[in-house]
């Protein structure tokens, strides 16, 4: 079967750095997305990785290792507004988007 | 601003009473998706359309149907809602459904079944 694993919940302090991991087992791979979802709202796009390595975009960076079936989302200089769920989603060989259940990130002052 | 719009934001229905959720987009995207998302779970794809070409996911219950009368609008019909259908329903679009394309989501409709 196809599977995306992410921690259910993480807690971090305002101003700190947090890394949210995602591991996947899918039938093929055509890219990996990270989306941010605030409570009761729709997911919004953060990043897309299809090649190995680190993609940096402001305070957010996303890393991919295809050989390990692993990605992480790195959030720097955390702000209270970063409290949200972060969803990892993988495109499989059929171009279907397979979603993880998301990691709920709680930021404390 | 180009966007994906869903109405209503909150919908209350009675057990077994048909309900229709609507989605419109001004992005002129070819692909539209309907997802069901329950609390703390991953979004579950119900249907998607490439233009008017309808694609039903294998495990989508027959109780759910969809219509896309034109490029801009898409509807989700729940024929006989059960308590287990209470969820957030998300509409999304993408330009051509290619792997690297971002999906743009509407704000969602939260369905409550009494």
Computed over its alpha carbons, how large is the radius of gyration of chain B?
13
Residue B2 in this model has a pLDDT that exceeds 80? no
What is the tens place of the pLDDT at every residue in B28-62? 999 999 999 998 899 999 999 888 888 888 789 99
Q: CB of A99 within 8 Å of any CB in chain B?
A: yes
Residue B80 in this model has a pLDDT that exceeds 80? yes
Measured between alpha carbons, how far is A73 from A49 in angstroms, rounded to an integer? 11
Interface A:B, Cβ pairs < 8 A: 48
User: Tokens 């409570």 map to which residue?
Assistant: A39
Determine which of A13-22, A46-55, A91-100 has the lowest per-residue pLDDT on average.
Answer: A91-100
Nearest CB neighbour to A95, from listed B88, B99, B106: B99
pLDDT average, residue stretch B7-22: 94
CB distance A42–B107 less than 8 Å?
Answer: yes
Which residues in B lie closer than 8 A to residue A90 (C-beta atoms)? none
Residue B99 in this model has a pLDDT that exceeds 80? no
C-alpha distances out from residue A38 to A68, A91, A107, Å: 29, 23, 13
pLDDT average, residue stretch A100-107: 96
Measured between alpha carbons, how far is A103 from A18 in angstroms, rounded to an integer? 12
SS (H, E, C) B43-58: CEEEEEEECCEEEECC
Measured between alpha carbons, how far is A85 from B64 in angstroms, rounded to an integer? 27
Burial of A1 (0-12, 13-18, 19+ CB in 10 A): exposed
**pLDDT category, B1, cuts 50, 70, 90?**
low
What is the tens place of the pLDDT at every residue in A39-94? 988 899 999 999 999 999 999 999 999 999 999 999 999 999 999 999 999 998 88
Greater model confidence, B18 or B52: B18
Helices first, then strands: H and E counts in chain B? 0, 11
Q: CB of A33 within 8 Å of any CB in chain B?
A: yes
CB distance A99–B106 less than 8 Å?
Answer: no
Q: CB of B27 within 8 Å of any CB in chain A?
A: no
Nearest CA in chain B to A43: B105
pLDDT average, residue stretch B79-88: 96
Q: CB of B105 within 8 Å of any CB in chain A?
A: yes
Question: How high is the pLDDT of residue B101?
Answer: 86
Which residues in A lie closer than 8 A to residue B40 (C-beta atoms)? 8, 101-102, 104
Question: How high is the pLDDT of residue B106?
Answer: 94
Q: CB of A13 within 8 Å of any CB in chain B?
A: no
């Amino acid at each position: 079967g196809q599977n995306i694993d992410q921690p259910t919940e993480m807690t971090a302090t305002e101003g700190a750095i947090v890394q949210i991991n995602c591991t996947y087992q899918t039938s093929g791979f055509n890219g990996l997305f990270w989306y941010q979802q605030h409570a009761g709202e729709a997911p919004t796009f953060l990043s897309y990785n299809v090649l190995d390595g680190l993609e940096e975009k402001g305070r957010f960076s996303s890393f991919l290792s295809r050989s390990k079936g692993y990605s992480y989302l790195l959030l720097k200089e955390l702000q209270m507004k970063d409290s949200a769920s972060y969803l990892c989603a993988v495109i499989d060989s059929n171009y279907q988007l397979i979603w993880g259940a998301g990691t709920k990130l709680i930021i404390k002052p | 601003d180009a966007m994906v719009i869903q109405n209503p934001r909150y919908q209350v229905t009675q057990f077994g009473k048909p309900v229709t959720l609507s989605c419109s987009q001004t992005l002129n995207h070819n692909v539209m998706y309907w997802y069901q998302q329950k609390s703390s779970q991953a979004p579950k794809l119900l249907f998607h359309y490439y233009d008017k070409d309808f694609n039903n996911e294998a495990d989508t219950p027959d109780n759910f149907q969809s219509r896309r009368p034109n490029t801009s609008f898409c509807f989700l019909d729940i024929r006989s809602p059960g308590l287990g259908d209470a969820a957030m329903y998300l509409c999304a679009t993408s330009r051509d459904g290619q792997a690297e394309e971002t999906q743009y989501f509407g704000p969602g409709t939260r369905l409550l079944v009494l």
